[in-house]
Every structure is written in structure tokens, then in C-alpha cells.
């Protein structure tokens, strides 16, 4: 059985919805500057049990599970900081998935998230061509090793055999030459970016050639990574809602 689990994320301010005030005759309303104190709420909902929570009778028999998946924080640099993708991933791993497995042991969850930039973020060591420089100069992350061809291991950083100044440093996009994928005339950036004429690896710039490799195309964002213990790890079913805006116009009949 497949159960649809939607993620809901909202921010509520202290003065939301205050459209009326008590005033003496002749007084002008004084509105607070700014949005006031806020509460950030991140929760998971299903059509089976509404909020993803454990029933009262299940709490005593599932000590390893928290009671509810909801997370509430005060978003501000002076309070709880800011909600990040790492916080959401931690909520999924430590709360949402364990509660779902306790409530529905014979079912599979399909988690749905808004297609926001923060929700499709990758870990810093994920293979991402756009985060790499042409050479080893400049700031770029240290990515995990990968394979190409018939399982040939490709190190993304210089191994210990290199001089101390190079050991552990990212190689950059120049690894295309090590793999045999370098093409004559490759540029760092495309000459025709506006028309997007470079597709499917037939590119004039190195970043697109690297991004078209199977190992780079197979990378998963942080919310799609497997969760669970080392003995039992599960790839969660994750769906990102399309980036569309639905406008509903209400017509009042006079």
C-alpha cells in the first residue's frame, strides 16, 4: 500500500490577521513596524491520519519514536536561527520516517515536497559539475570518488602520492582529460548561453560535458538519500511538486 505524505511549511507572525483595533474618537491607528515575532512550522500530513503523529496507545509501545513529526521554531538570528535543508532532512530521518513505520508497518510512504530551491539542495560532496572550476584554483568543494567506463575509479581530489600542497585538493574539471573525455576546442563557458544550443553532451564548454556523464546525472539531492540504520537503509520515495502557480478567481454575482 502506498500512502501519500505531504510536507507543509508555513510562517506565522504575531500580528497576522489583525484588521481591527479599538480606538478613541479622533485617534489614528499605530501599526507595528516590521513583521513582528514569527513561528516557523514544518509538518507532514496524510489523508489517513491527518497530522503524522503516533496515537496515544502507540506511544508506550514505541519508545524509540517521538510522538509527532511537527517541528516549530522561532526563525531569527536572535532566537533559533534559520530553517535549512539540513534541518528538514533531519526531521525526515529522525521523526517522519520512524513515525510512519510505526503507524504503517506494511505500507510505503511517498513524500511530496514543494519544488523550492532549498528542498532540492545537494550535500557539499555530491558530484556537481557547476560547483567545479576548470583547474584546481579557486574555491570548490571536495567531492567523493566516482567511477567511469568499466568501473574505473576516478579520484576527484589529488591522492597522497602528489606533493603536500596538492594532496587533498580538488582537481576540477581537468579530470575530463584523465578520463579521456576532453574534446578539442572546449571552453569554460558556452558562447551561446542565451539560445541554449549545447545539449546532451554535445557541448562547447566543459561543465556541460561533465554534467552529461552517467555518474553525475545519477546524483540525488539531500532529501532523496537513503535513510535508516547501517543494517537497514531505505531509499525513500520522494516527489517534488511542479513549479506552477494556480490562480483562482472568485466572481461575485451582484
Say which residue, 153 or 21, is predicted with more confidence.
153
The three state secondary structure string of 219-230 is: CCCHHHCCEECC
Query: Are 209 and 135 contained in the same domain?
Result: yes
Question: Are the beta carbons of 228 and 94 closer than 8 angstroms?
Answer: no
Question: Are the beta carbons of 224 and 93 closer than 8 angstroms?
Answer: no
The alpha carbon dihedral of 205, 212, 113, 101 has a sign of negative
Give 79-130 pLDDT, tens digit per residue. 899 998 889 988 988 888 888 888 888 888 889 898 888 788 888 888 888 8
Query: Are 157 and 214 contained in the same domain?
Result: yes
pLDDT band at 199 (very low <50, low <70, confident <90, very high): low
The answer to whether residue 249 is domain-embedded is no
Query: Are 106 and 229 contained in the same domain?
Result: yes
The answer to whether residue 200 is domain-embedded is yes
Query: Are 110 and 129 contained in the same domain?
Result: no
Query: Are 173 and 114 contained in the same domain?
Result: no
What does pLDDT average to over the chain? 77
Question: Are the beta carbons of 1 and 34 closer than 8 angstroms?
Answer: no
Query: Are 102 and 46 contained in the same domain?
Result: yes
Query: Are 98 and 173 contained in the same domain?
Result: no
Give CA torsion, residues 60, 66, 70, 75, to 10 deg.
Answer: 140
- Indicate if the pLDDT at residue 230 is higher than 50: no
Exposure of 253 in the CB half-sphere (CA atoms within 13 A): 0
Based on its alpha-carbon atoms, the radius of gyration of the chain, rounded to whole angstroms, reads 25
The answer to whether residue 162 is domain-embedded is yes
Query: Are 158 and 212 contained in the same domain?
Result: yes
DSSP-based three-state secondary structure for 10: strand
The answer to whether residue 248 is domain-embedded is no
Question: Are the beta carbons of 139 and 34 closer than 8 angstroms?
Answer: no
C-alpha 208/C-alpha 21 separation (Å) is 58
Query: Are 78 and 148 contained in the same domain?
Result: no
Query: Are 107 and 9 contained in the same domain?
Result: yes
Expressed as residue numbers, the domain containing 182 is 124-219
The answer to whether residue 130 is domain-embedded is yes
Q: How many residues are present in the chain?
A: 254
Count of structural domains within the chain = 2
Query: Are 180 and 102 contained in the same domain?
Result: no
Amino acid at each position: 500500500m502506498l500512502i501519500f505524505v505531504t510536507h507543509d511549511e508555513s510562517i506565522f507572525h504575531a500580528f497576522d490577521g489583525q484588521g481591527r483595533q479599538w480606538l478613541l474618537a479622533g485617534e489614528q491607528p499605530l501599526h507595528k513596524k516590521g513583521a513582528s515575532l514569527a513561528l516557523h512550522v514544518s509538518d507532514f500530513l496524510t489523508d489517513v491520519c491527518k497530522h503524522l503523529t503516533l496515537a496515544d496507545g502507540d506511544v508506550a509501545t514505541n519508545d524509540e519514536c517521538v510522538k509527532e513529526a511537527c517541528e516549530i521554531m522561532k526563525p531569527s538570528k536572535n532566537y533559533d536561527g534559520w530553517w535549512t535543508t539540513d534541518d528538514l532532512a533531519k526531521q525526515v530521518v529522525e521523526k517522519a520516517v520512524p513515525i510512519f513505520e510505526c503507524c504503517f508497518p506494511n505500507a510505503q510512504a511517498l513524500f511530496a515536497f514543494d519544488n523550492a530551491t532549498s528542498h532540492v539542495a545537494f550535500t557539499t560532496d555530491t558530484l556537481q559539475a557547476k560547483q567545479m572550476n576548470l583547474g584546481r584554483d579557486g574555491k570548490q568543494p571536495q567531492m567523493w570518488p566516482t567511477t567511469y567506463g568499466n568501473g574505473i575509479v576516478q579520484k576527484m581530489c589529488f591522492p597522497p602520492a602528489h606533493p603536500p600542497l596538492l594532496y587533498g585538493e580538488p582537481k576540477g574539471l581537468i579530470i575530463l582529460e584523465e578520463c579521456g573525455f576532453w574534446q578539442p576546442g572546449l571552453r569554460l563557458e558556452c558562447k551561446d548561453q542565451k539560445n541554449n544550443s549545447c545539449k546532451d553532451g554535445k557541448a562547447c564548454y566543459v561543465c556541460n560535458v561533465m554534467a552529461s556523464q552517467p555518474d553525475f546525472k545519477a546524483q540525488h539531492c539531500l532529501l532523496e538519500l537513503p535513510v535508516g540504520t547501517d543494517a537497514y537503509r531505505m531509499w525513500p520515495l520522494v516527489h517534488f511538486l511542479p513549479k506552477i502557480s494556480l490562480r483562482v478567481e472568485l466572481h461575485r454575482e451582484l
